[in-house]
Amino acid sequence: MKYIYIKTWGCQMNEYDSSMIVKYLEKTGQYLITKNSEKADVLVLNTCSIREKAQEKVFHQLGRWKKLKNKNANIIIAVGGCVATQEGKEIFKRAKYVDIIFGTQSLHKLPKMIDEVEKNRKFVIDISFPKLDKFNNSLTITNKGYTASISIMEGCNKYCSFCVVPYTRGQEISRPSDDVLFEIASLAENGIKEINLLGQNVNAYQGPTFDGKICYFSELLRLISEIDGIERIRFTTSNPLEFSDDIIEVYKDTPKLVSFLHLPVQSGSNKILQLMKRSYTTEEYEKIIEKLIKARPNIQISSDFIVGFPGESKKDFKETINFIKKINFDMSYSFIYSSRPGTPASEMKDEINIKEKKERLYILQDCINKQTMSWSRKMLGSKQCVLVEGTSKKNAMELYGKTENNRIVNFHGSPKMIGKFVNVQINEIHTHVLHGKLL
Ligand code: SAH
Ligand code: F3S
């Protein structure tokens, strides 16, 4: 048996890919996963290149692994994910001790690539985008917990001017709907209660069906809601561009779909949205939210924002803040714009200094944090349905679980409740963690 150590950075899709890598390797019967990098025969780094810092981290990590390889030359180092796909051979140039470079679509080839390096002791690289190959080789993931994430589509055709995803993950490709439904049904049989559908643009899902038709996202959601045992459905990430009325309709009649939606807007200025090539206006985004509230009055919205995009004036930034106040987001992920090689925005003149960018980020985050707190305050005294995930890390006498809107709630209860839905009344609030009383 050989030991494999995997380190994963980046989005949930990368987390999912890493769990697939583990499955592919375990299936060969030759590998065991270890949590100790010092013990490993093969070191795998699943990388992220969405922002500059994420990319630099890769080479720092490889530098650390080089020391392990200096002690034991037989160690194989494999680099996968978005940096691998984007940089390709350049990684070998900067880190000569790397043995394998595999792309986001070549996970299933990793066991063979390792064999090849063991035999020939020569670099191996595969960063190709063979259509459908990845999903054809997909294995069913059976999570031990009570929630599971499953990939329903990959890639992105939107080419927002700042983003590397279309280059690192390739064109949008949807997994056949029957495969998705079959996998979720078997997850439900294994005790999974909550399902999180993953993809770069899940609402662009167009999965082929067994009889040659197309299953759209709204239909997929309805079909999943009919699977016995699945009580909660989430998805991430969706794009305002294709958030069509048929998807909004699902919120009306499918209670298993959570009253919480992550819908990244990026900016509240139409000028900036256009420069970002987001293909929607703030007015259109607002309209979607209005319709969603009509369909599901208690829905909460979270978002992503980029500050300091090239050309973002003080006035544009002010418009973003005003927009945030108008929508009243539950929470957000916000970032300082990071120029990514090969993207159209990297050619744009970036004249905002870093101090100003940091200030804008601070102001934006402060504004959203206040909204998060006010949403939490509204939850005080309310009854919340919580999926119990385990005993609280801080207090072994307490359990913790998650509400529909992703708040962690701690409360007294019996360990028998783990894995079940229970109702609690919120009696204490902090920004992200709440305390409750079992009802
Ligand atoms: N598909 C999603 C985005 C996925 S990338 C969407 O449609 O919005 C996740 C987030 O990273 C983006 O929403 C964006 O806020 C941020 N991001 C992507 N590229 C970035 C860059 N070059 N600089 C800063 N933030 C970036
Ligand atoms: Fe990136 Fe825009 Fe697609 S942010 S993932 S190119 S929708």
- One DSSP character per residue, 197-223 reads EE-TTGGG-EEEPTTS-EEEHHHHHHH
Give the ligand with the smallest distance to the CA of 159: 2
Cα(256)–Cα(200) distance, rounded to whole angstroms? Answer: 22
**Protein residue with least CA distance to atom 2, ligand 2:** 160
**238 alpha carbon to ligand 2 midpoint, in Å?**
10
Annotated binding site for [4Fe-4S] cluster: 11, 48, 82, 156, 160, 163
Q: Which residues are annotated as a binding site?
A: 11, 48, 82, 156, 160, 163
CA of 157 to the centre of ligand 1 (A): 14
pLDDT of 310: 97
Ligand nearest, relative to CA of residue 167: 2
CA distance 185 to 181: 6
pLDDT computed for residue 393 by the predictor: 84
CB atoms within 10 A of CB 147: 17
C-alpha–C-alpha distance, residues 392 and 402, integer Å? 12
Give CA–CA dist 43/21, Å, rounded.
12
The 10s digit of each residue's pLDDT in 313-342 is 999 999 999 999 999 999 999 999 999 999
Answer yes or no: is the C-beta of 304 below 6 A from any ligand 1 atom.
yes
Output the pLDDT for position 36. Answer: 95
Q: Identify whether the C-beta of residue 364 lies closer than 8 Å to the C-beta of residue 307.
A: yes
Q: Relative to the CA of 240, which ligand 1 atom is closest?
A: 7
Cβ(232) to ligand 1 under 6 A?
no
Q: How far does residue 163's CA lie from ligand 2's centre (Å)?
A: 6
Given this model, what pLDDT does residue 128 score? 87
CA of 45 to the centre of ligand 2 (A): 23
Pocket test residue of 165, 201, 338 for ligand 2, highest count of atoms within 8 A of CB? 165
Q: First CA to last CA across the chain, in angstroms? A: 50
Candidates 65, 89, 93; CA nearest to 77 is 65
What pLDDT, on a 0 to 100 scale, did the predictor assign at position 52? 86
Indicate whether residue 263 lines ligand 1 (CB < 6 A). no
User: How many whole angstroms separate alpha carbon 110 and alpha carbon 311?
Assistant: 43
Predicted confidence at residue 55, as pLDDT, reads 78
Query: The sheet that has 260-262: what strands, in order across it?
Result: 260-262, 300-307, 331-336
What is the C-alpha to C-alpha distance for residues 70 and 73, in angstroms, rounded to an integer?
6
Q: Give the residue ranges of the chain where pLDDT is below 50.
A: none
Compute, in angstroms, the gap from residue 165 CA to the centroid of ligand 2: 6
Phi and psi dihedrals of 402, rounded to 5? -120, 140
Nearest atom, ligand 1, residue 164 CA: 19
Protein residues with CB under 6 Å of any ligand 2 atom: 156, 158-160, 163, 165-166, 200-201, 239
CA of 428 to the centre of ligand 1 (A): 33
Whether residue 278 has its Cβ less than 6 Å from ligand 1: no
Q: Are strands 100-102 and 206-208 parallel, antiparallel or unpaired?
A: unpaired
Strands (E), 294-413: 300-307, 331-336, 383-391, 398-402, 408-412
155: left (phi over 0), alpha (psi -120 to 50) or beta: left
> For residue 196, what are the contacts with CB-CB under 8 A and spacing of at least 6?
12, 147, 148, 149, 150, 234, 235, 236
Q: Where are the beta strands (DSSP E) in 227-277?
A: 232-236, 260-262
Alpha-carbon span 244 to 149, nearest angstrom: 23
Please report the pLDDT score of residue 348 as a whole number: 96
Which DSSP symbol is given to 257? B
Greatest alpha-carbon pair distance for the chain in Å reads 65
Domains of the chain: 2-126 (3.40.50.12160), 133-378 (3.80.30.20), 380-438 (2.40.50.140)
